Structure 1
Amino acid sequence: MGKDSGIGVLDKSVMILHVVAGQPCNLGELCDATGLPRATAHRLAVGLEVHQLVARDESGRWIPGPTLGRLAANARDIVREAGLMVLPRLQETTGESVQLYRREGAERVCIAAAEPPTGLRDTVPEGSRLPMSAGSAAKVLAAWADPDTVRTLLADAVYTERSLVEIRRRGWAQSVAERTAGVASISAPVRDANGAVVAAVSISGPIDRLGRRPGEKWAADVIAAADAISARLTSSARN
């Protein structure tokens, strides 16, 4: 929301989309959140409504419109595609639930998953949104986030700046009963062709199976899976 393209009407419209995506807003709330004059906010919101980029709920508040969903559905998610090619092998190797997460603000979203066919498991359906405050995937995504984001996340997190430094050093993170009682997990970073961390690949399951130091058992396999996804992203960027 803080970026400036130099095209005023575009920047203001995008700012409105960001605010509406965060929570439903009436005109007054939209003005408070954006700092725009009422006439400007109303004119731009109505214009976005014409193109169905925003819509109104039953209370008349602006919410994300159907065009945003259609655009997202049509967009090719190469990170997810790469993950779906690798996660099944990791699931077979470990016998546990595996996931691929992407950070969106103060949440992480499961964009791909593979589950064992039977037995006790830690099921995380695709599309699930989990907080960035705890869990091995949250730690990985926080460890390679920009400094301003890290400062914001640390306010509510179980991890510390010192622990993130250690995660960056060793290249993986683990958690035991942080997000859910009885569940352990381990995660490693996925990088794009430029080396930026764009996702975290994870395995999760009962502490009774993974143990209280799951990294000792599965770090090498999780890192190998993350590297395999990263290699596919690099290959896609070259083609």
Structure 2
Amino acid sequence: MTPPNDPESGGSQTLERGLAVLVELSRHPDGLNTSQVAAATGLHRSVAHRLLVSLHRTGFAARDDEGRYAVGPAVPGLIGDTGPSLRTVAEPVLHRLARRLDATASLVEAIGTAAVTTVVAEPPTDGPLFWYRKGSRDPLDHGSGGLATLASGPPRASEPDRVQAIREAGYVITHGEVNVGAHGVAAPLPGWPVRAAINVVTSDPDLAERAVPHVREAAAAIGTPNDHH
């Protein structure tokens, strides 16, 4: 029998090692540091580190402030029996919100160290818009989408001081923190496997203020995974 790592087998040793790391993380919900992953998989620490960085960057691993890694938010979407995904639940809600406010609405998720736009709903009219394409990456530590995304999860030692206030209020309004002239209002979406938020971006500061109850209502409509089983 041809060994699985033999070049003639046509397999990828790096992929196999990465999957071995992911399997090991799945066995330890409380997380493992790099040295523990290396010991559990028999990999050199530098190899384990590179694999963990790649898994974290792509959302297949999550990393806490103490450097411990656990299974990341991209993994549940690969499993077919977990109920509707956040993106599936959020999309119709976002389209209703965009029509109601006549502004761009999006779903933002924390993937690695970035706030990534994963669903976009554009309004029906052709007025001045801030276009957010799917896959756009913004900082997590400023801007409405990133801050609300952080606030959707439990407190972390490294989070900006204002995140706790956002967590308690259930929304945040920002002005020009990521894009000049952009006003954002966002609401955290707690309870999902990934840190996430609804984000509305507009050039009209008055609209951002008026949007707050509508954005919070949309977040409530999305709810938690338990609401959709």
TM-score (norm 2): 0.64
| Alpha-carbon distance between aligned partners in 2 of 1:74 and 1:22, rounded to the nearest angstrom | 16
Q: How does 1:41-190 map to 2 (within 5 A)?
A: 78-117=85-124, 118-148=126-156, 150-151=157-158, 153-154=159-160, 161=161, 163-190=162-189
Equivalent pair of 2:37/2:48 in contact (CA under 8 Å):
no
Equivalent pair of 1:136/1:187 in contact (CA under 8 Å):
yes
- Give the secondary-structure state (helix, strand or coil) at the position aligned to 2:92: helix
Give unpaired runs (5+ residues) of structure 2: 1-24, 26-30, 58-73
Q: 2:220 aligns to what? A: 227
Equivalent pair of 1:186/1:218 in contact (CA under 8 Å):
yes
| Alpha-carbon distance between aligned partners in 2 of 1:167 and 1:146, rounded to the nearest angstrom | 12
- Give the secondary-structure state (helix, strand or coil) at the position aligned to 2:227: helix
Change (3 A) 1:5 1:85: farther
Equivalent pair of 1:186/1:203 in contact (CA under 8 Å):
yes
Change (3 A) 1:5 1:199: same
Q: 2:53 aligns to what? A: 19
- Give the secondary-structure state (helix, strand or coil) at the position aligned to 1:182: coil
Give how far 1:184 is off. 0.1
Number of corresponding residues: 175
| Alpha-carbon distance between aligned partners in 1 of 2:52 and 2:185, rounded to the nearest angstrom | 32
Structure 1 residue identity aligned to 2:226: T
Give how far 1:166 is off. 2.0
| Alpha-carbon distance between aligned partners in 2 of 1:132 and 1:104, rounded to the nearest angstrom | 10
Change (3 A) 1:75 1:110: farther
Equivalent pair of 1:190/1:197 in contact (CA under 8 Å):
no
Equivalent pair of 1:188/1:222 in contact (CA under 8 Å):
yes
Equivalent pair of 1:189/1:197 in contact (CA under 8 Å):
no
Identity %: 23
- Give the secondary-structure state (helix, strand or coil) at the position aligned to 2:118: strand
Q: 1:200 aligns to what? A: 197
Give how far 1:134 is off. 1.5
More helix by share: 1
TM-score (norm 1): 0.62
Give how far 1:191 is off. 2.7
Structure 1 residue identity aligned to 2:190: R
| Alpha-carbon distance between aligned partners in 2 of 1:191 and 1:136, rounded to the nearest angstrom | 16
Give unpaired runs (5+ residues) of structure 1: 24-68, 155-160
| Alpha-carbon distance between aligned partners in 1 of 2:153 and 2:226, rounded to the nearest angstrom | 20
Change (3 A) 1:218 1:10: farther
Equivalent pair of 1:143/1:165 in contact (CA under 8 Å):
yes
Change (3 A) 1:204 1:86: same
Structure 2 residue identity aligned to 1:17: L
| Alpha-carbon distance between aligned partners in 2 of 1:108 and 1:127, rounded to the nearest angstrom | 9
- Give the secondary-structure state (helix, strand or coil) at the position aligned to 2:198: strand
Give how far 1:177 is off. 0.8
Give how far 1:128 is off. 1.1
Q: Among residues 35, 40, 56, which one is paired with 1:8 in the alignment? A: 40
